[in-house]
Structure 1
Amino acid sequence: MIPPITVRRFRVAAAILTVLFLLAVFGCAPRGKRPVEPAAPKTVGEKHIPALETAPKTPGPVRGFSPAAQDTAETFARHIDIKEQDLTSWKDLGLPLLRSLEYIQAHDQTALAVRQPGLRLTWGQLGSSVSELIALLPALKKNPELLAERFTWYRLAPEPLMTGYYAPAIDASLTPRPGYKYPIYGLPADLERLDLGEFHPRWRGQRLIYRTEGDKALPYFDRREIDIDGALNGRGLEIAWAKHPWDIYHLQVQGSGFLRLPDGDFRYVLYAGQNGRRFRSTARYMLETGKIARNKLDRDGIRSALDKAGSEGKMELLAHNPSYVFFKLGDVPPEGSIGKPLTGMVSLATDPSVLPLGAIVPFSVELPTEPGQPRKRVYGLGLAQDTGGVIKGHRIDFYCGIGDKKEYMAFRIKNPVTTYIMVSKRVLAHK
């Protein structure tokens, strides 16, 4: 006799596959990109920032990659100051590059990692480029022009929009106690994932996240159902308790961080999964509805505005965003999508369909420095090591680092960024 639970799962899977088949036939499948929204000021404290308007008055550059001139790459390489990326020397890039290489080598080396207009690269070619840069690091202090001599630089057009993120520290307790009443949840066992790319190439890189109820497949619980209706109550999923719901929300937006415990110790708290719901900015909603003034759009200002709404009111405001992130406690610093720790001022979150994880990404951008000080143009060497729910298409998220000191920078980055991908000339010669 077939167990009832097996029969139910079979029926649910069959229903999902039927829907996917109909979507494929009639061309109504989700394509993984949200509609273009008009440009708007950055909502401080959240990474959900609409793309720049996509209808320029004059024709822009062709979309995709094109090789940069040799002298352009040489000039750029001479401008790189590795200390501006919080590194003491070029050799400090060795460990982050090894982390990227391990990720790359876990893939089929003959499969395509980059499939964009103007550039097609396999994982093997990407890995060989990273290996060559690792070997070259000791020589770059005296001769940074080697980056242009040994590599071809492909410029990405149009210029992506760069935003910033960091790993915050929030007050929390690992056990319930007075003053700590808001739960931080671990990943629920009934959250199911389905890789849509296994069913149709159109859905490559997309996943369906759902739960089952009897024979039905349903969207997973949203923020209102979890935080207001108590959908996860009594299931033992709490990994910690925070003092304020805004701290949890902020931690979810950043993706990982630290818990500052009552005894003064710290614990890493890492991303474990997401409920599959589309992100909607609560801070922007508060601005649009007059709940907060534009000049108060910072972490403390938003917290204060939420408190003015009262205990129930602030939960209602936060519930405007249905997206919900689940966490796990860890013994290592925050990790990126490559499954390795991120490096502040070096790691980038990208859309892998444009800039694949593991890629070497030279960039040039205006960055904030300190309060009251002018912005500064930085020429850097970034590594694509993370992704983000709203980092789609020509968007890059710059990982600024750990703690409150990096908050100022992360919240004030919203700039077009000159972006390249660096590929070994030796690799290209053997195509």
Structure 2
Amino acid sequence: MKRIVLLFLALFILAVSGCGPEATRPLPVEVEPTYVPVGESEAETLAAHLSPRLQGTESWGGLRPVLEQNLGYIRNRPQDAVCVNRPGLVLTWGMLGDSVAELLSVLDDLDRDPRLLAERFQWLKLAPGTLLTGYYEPWLKASLTPDDTYRYPLYGVPDDLKTLDLGAFHPRWEGQTLTYRVGEEGVQPYHDREAIDGKGALADRGLEIAWAADPVDVFFLQIQGSGRLDLPDGTAKHILYGGKNGRQYRSLGKLLIERGHIPREEMSMQRIRTFLNANPDVAVDLLFENPSYVFFRLADDGPYGSMASILTPRVSVAVDRRVIPLGSVVALKTALIDYGTGESEPFLSLMAAQDTGGAIQGTRMDLFCGTGPEAEQLAGHLQEDSEVFMLISKKVLDAIPDNAE
């Protein structure tokens, strides 16, 4: 009974203080994302320049398995429920599914005439503009047993990590969760990074699922959310996201800029890694300033996105599901490195919204770049002002009265 009382006391304090989980706060009114219809002439020009070449396929048919995954996810949602409600566009899951199904029906014809996408679909530009960043699946040297080389633990989800659906208590908290543990003093926030890695809060509990050779590798694995373990016997194992401690994420990159360690114009994942490796005396304390912590699970395949489907390099993107519903197919106009030439080239192709992320909010989008050194290089430097277009069947829009209101 005492624990129950303490839990409700914690919820009451949360309510009166106006605090809530970071990732589920409403979008600020001043940056409210909107959808703006694109004129027919501009849509024809955009469609004519679509190409899947920089995604590793010469034919649009190569995207069919990914788009079918999206349609399957959409069809399993409540078809009458609204999946996006933004100024300029209101859709139900059923309407979104009908649009993706129509796209699949013309996919094989796009090699001959990509302008079919302008003829059959309304292009709606997401405003304000999109910042495109990247993420990847890192490899790290690790072992399933510890020794003098492999000393840094990777933890599975602790059994005392609790999550509460706050929406069950009041409508104002719908979609929000509280992550906590019950300690000697009652309900408490879960252990932060310093407590786990610095003070051994999870040691000797049998929660270790692997051990890494480099603590910086562990930190970057937590940022990316999944990766592959390069094991001593030459085999590899996928390590996937399992959960997190609920603490607010603090960007190490921003911290290094604010303290003058790295100039803003030089910031990248590679630059952060170089600084940490060159300054081990301050690296540990800097890492502790990000209290967020990620737990993992081992698997034979992956990586998986929020739709529980395996991500596809340069096709799968992470989005804010309040703006772009999971399962959507969008057109992305940006610039990406061509691995064949090493040069940055214009990119305009279809993308599958299959993942989410705590830092991916509003119009920002995160491209899954794949695995290996090339993917790490692209993800580490990708910060491109881009344009995103939702493609909705004109038949679907014609059936919606006053859709733009």
Task: Identify whether the pair has TM-score above 0.5, normalized to the shorter chain.
Answer: yes
Aligned with residue 322 of structure 1, among 291, 294, 298: 291
Identity of aligned residues (%): 43
1:14 aligns with 2:8: yes
- Which amino acid in structure 1 is aligned with residue 250 of structure 2? R
Question: What does 1:43-192 correspond to in 2, within 5 Å?
Answer: 63-192=33-162
Q: Secondary structure at the match of 2:314?
A: coil
How far, CA to CA, are the matches of 1:357 and 1:415 in structure 2? Answer: 22
- Which amino acid in structure 1 is aligned with residue 191 of structure 2? F
Q: Secondary structure at the match of 2:397?
A: helix
1:343 aligns with 2:312: yes
Aligned with residue 191 of structure 2, among 217, 221, 228: 221
Write the deviation string for residues 249-282 of structure 1: whole angstroms up to 9, x where unpaired: 0111111111111111111111111111111122
Mapped contact 2:61–2:107 kept (Cα < 8 A): yes
Mapped contact 1:369–1:409 kept (Cα < 8 A): no
- Which amino acid in structure 1 is aligned with residue 311 of structure 2? L
How far 1:330 sits from its partner (Å)? Answer: 1.1
Q: Secondary structure at the match of 1:273?
A: strand
- Which amino acid in structure 1 is aligned with residue 5 of structure 2? R
Write the deviation string for residues 179-233 of structure 1: whole angstroms up to 9, x where unpaired: 0000011111111112333344443433221111257221111100100011100
Write the deviation string for residues 361-404 of structure 1: whole angstroms up to 9, x where unpaired: 11101223469954221001111111111111121111111222
Aligned residues: 398
How far, CA to CA, are the matches of 1:396 and 1:281 in structure 2? Answer: 17
How far, CA to CA, are the matches of 1:75 and 1:424 in structure 2? Answer: 18
How far 1:325 sits from its partner (Å)? Answer: 0.8
TM-score (ref. length: structure 1): 0.85
Write the deviation string for residues 107-155 of structure 1: whole angstroms up to 9, x where unpaired: 2111110011111100111111112212221111112111111111111
Question: What does 1:295-334 correspond to in 2, within 5 Å?
Answer: 301-310=271-280, 313-334=282-303
How far, CA to CA, are the matches of 2:340 and 2:248 in structure 1? Answer: 33
Q: Secondary structure at the match of 2:91?
A: strand
Partner of 1:235: 205
Partner of 2:336: 367
- Evaluate the alpha carbon distance shift between residue 84 and residue 427 of structure 1 in structure 2; reply closer, same or farther with a 3 A threshold: same
Mapped contact 2:24–2:176 kept (Cα < 8 A): no
- Which amino acid in structure 1 is aligned with residue 9 of structure 2? A
Q: Secondary structure at the match of 2:366?
A: strand
TM-score (ref. length: structure 2): 0.90
Question: What does 1:248-287 correspond to in 2, within 5 Å?
Answer: 248-287=218-257
- Evaluate the alpha carbon distance shift between residue 132 and residue 294 of structure 1 in structure 2; reply closer, same or farther with a 3 A threshold: closer
Mapped contact 1:9–1:215 kept (Cα < 8 A): no
How far, CA to CA, are the matches of 1:95 and 1:346 in structure 2? Answer: 11
Partner of 1:42: none
- Which amino acid in structure 2 is aligned with residue 401 of structure 1? G
Runs (4+) of structure 1 moved beyond 6 Å? Answer: 293-296
Which region of structure 1 is more displaced relative to structure 2, 283-292 or 90-99?
A: 283-292
Q: Secondary structure at the match of 1:417?
A: strand
How far 1:305 sits from its partner (Å)? Answer: 3.4
